[in-house]
Amino acid sequence: MIWRVDAHPCGVGRLLGLPRLWWLVLVVFVLPSTADARLRVTAPKERASGVSLPLAITGAPPRTPVAVERRTSAGWIGIKAVGSNAAGRASVALHTPARTRTWRLRVRAADQHSAAIRVSIRPITLTSVGDINLGDGPGDVMAARGDRYPWTGVAPLLRSADIAFGNLECAVSDRGAAQVKQYVFRGKPSRLKTLRGYAGLDVVNLANNHTGDYGKQAMADTVRHVRNAGLVGVGAGFDLAGARRPRVVSRLGLKIVFVGFSDIGPYDFAAGPSTPGTRLASNENITADVRAARDLGDVVVASFHWGVERDRNPSQRQRDFARVALAAGADAVIGAHPHVLQPISRPAPHKVVAYSLGNFVWSAGSGPTAQTGLLKLSLSTRGVEAVKFTAATIVGTQPRVR
């Protein structure tokens, strides 16, 4: 606490009948100073780890040096200085630490200081899940038990994340004809509202081998319906430029950039210069798109549809693509398609590769195809700070945490 030593204590000392020597003691230990109510500093109450923290200062004397102070175990220390303008205003930015902590800040101008404010600094959480099908078996269950049913046990976990991400593996459209292939999946557009509003998904990968199951018109509908539901779709678009475009999601000042690639046919699902479709995986495409994403934000997440169905070990092709993505600047590589879980690795500090998160909302039987989970990443400007996997089992299209 700061104590005033410039107040005149004579009246108080005489009133209490104290010797003159004690007047100074009374001043130093009893009469605290007060902050200048006109001098204020404001900032966001929460900020992501490692980003810039903007401060706005008002009520300072015109054209006066202003010191930004932070509370430490040793007391208030000055950490930055700025000058106020003719209106007594100033702005300044601080760089937040990569680790979680709470800052107490104030500003001082001349012999006055502002009231203190608190800023919570923490990583951003990204929770990712595997394959999501709004048609086929899950669609039948939703029709019988309601669209929320498959999400009942996991929605709180997804909604608690700053960003929730999954692989949407179906067309979402009422139009088009089924393509000639072994399996075709199509969900109702209305179910995307539940996906967004109740389940809490924010971003979905569309670069896979089922978004084109009902033709190009339905592919365009899928992209449109995803956007209209308030979701961010990556890896597919109305044309090639849209399919390859990195998508930026900002949380508390941290910019997380998503790109998506499919390595699974039919390859005519690929977007053309003026036709809807997905972004195909190749070394050239991965390098170009990840580098473009790196220029747009702080953390890059590269999503892949790849691998061999029901193989619990990543293929050499998966490993090669992951290395290309990491070399180009990706911080997290998240895969799907094998319909079983594959390893999660930390190839370098602040990097992660999840080769396959398996099924999630899916008609999975017993055994490996029913084993799933939620991958939670803690993100800062350094990349991936922490990794946690919560195991779950699919029962009747409903993932249940163990």
Cα separation, 226 vs 246, in Å, equals 16
85 in the same domain as 73: yes
Rounded to an integer, the average pLDDT of 357-364 is 96
- Distance of alpha carbon 353 from alpha carbon 341, whole angstroms: 13
Residues 6 or more apart whose CB falls under 8 angstroms from that of 30 comprise: 3
Q: Which residue has the higher pLDDT, 98 or 186?
A: 186
Q: State whether 246 and 363 are in the same domain.
A: yes
pLDDT digit string (tens) for 1-46? Answer: 333 333 334 443 443 344 443 333 323 333 344 567 899 999 999 9
pLDDT in tens, 118-145: 999 999 999 999 999 999 999 999 999 9
25: phi > 0 → left, psi -120 to 50 → alpha, else beta; which? alpha
Residue 20 sits at the vertex; the CA angle it makes with 18 and 24, to the nearest 5 degrees, is 95
How far, in Å, are 16, 156, 353, 374, 376 from residue 129 at the CA level?
72, 14, 14, 5, 9
Concatenating the DSSP letter of every residue in 120-165 gives EEEPEEEEEEEEE-SSHHHHHHHHHH-TTGGGTTTHHHHHTSSEEE
In the prediction, which pLDDT does 39 show?
A: 97
| pLDDT score, position 204 | 98
Q: Which DSSP letter does residue 110 get?
A: T
pLDDT at residue number 2: 36
User: According to the model, what pLDDT value does residue 34 have?
Assistant: 53
Beta bridge partners of 76: 71
Does one domain contain both 118 and 134?
A: no
Residue 256 lies in a domain: yes
* Domain carrying residue 62: 40-122
User: Closest Cα partner for 272 from 209, 211, 216?
Assistant: 216
Asked if residue 5 belongs to a domain, the reply is no
* 259, 315: one domain: yes
Q: What is the CATH number of the domain that holds 219?
A: 3.60.21.10
**Entry pTM:** 0.90
- Contact by Cβ (8 Å): 386, 372: no
The answer to whether residues 380 and 123 touch, using CB atoms and an 8 Å cutoff, is yes
Strands 254-262 and 299-305, how do they pair? parallel
pLDDT over 50 at 182, yes or no: yes
Q: What is the pLDDT of residue 35?
A: 65
Please check whether residue 254 lies inside any domain of the structure: yes
- 366/377: higher pLDDT: 377
Q: What is the rounded radius of gyration, in angstroms, for the C-alpha atoms of the chain?
A: 28
Q: How far apart are CA 200 and CA 202, in angstroms?
A: 6
Q: What is the pLDDT of residue 21?
A: 35
Look at 21-25, 202-206, 259-263 and tell me which has the smallest mean pLDDT.
21-25
Residue 365 pLDDT > 60: yes
Q: Has residue 31 been placed in a domain?
A: no
> Per-residue pLDDT averaged across 192-218, rounded?
98
With pLDDT > 90 as the criterion, what percentage of the chain qualifies? 89
Asked if 241 and 114 sit in the same domain, the reply is no
For residue range 264-323, what is the model confidence (pLDDT) as tens digits? Answer: 999 999 999 999 999 999 999 999 999 999 999 999 999 999 999 999 999 999 999 999
Mark whether 347 and 366 lie in a shared domain: yes
What is the domain count for the chain?
Answer: 2
| Residue appearing with tokens 């700070």 | 385
Identify how many contiguous H helices and E strands the chain contains and give both numbers: 9, 27
Whose CA is closest to 375, among 344, 399, 329, 338? Answer: 344
Query: Average pLDDT in the 97-126 region?
Result: 96
The percentage of the chain sitting over the pLDDT mark of 70, rounded to a whole number, equals 91
- Per the prediction, the chain carries an average pLDDT of 92
Same domain, 201 and 347: yes
Find out whether 373 and 344 touch, Cβ atoms under 8 Å.
Answer: no
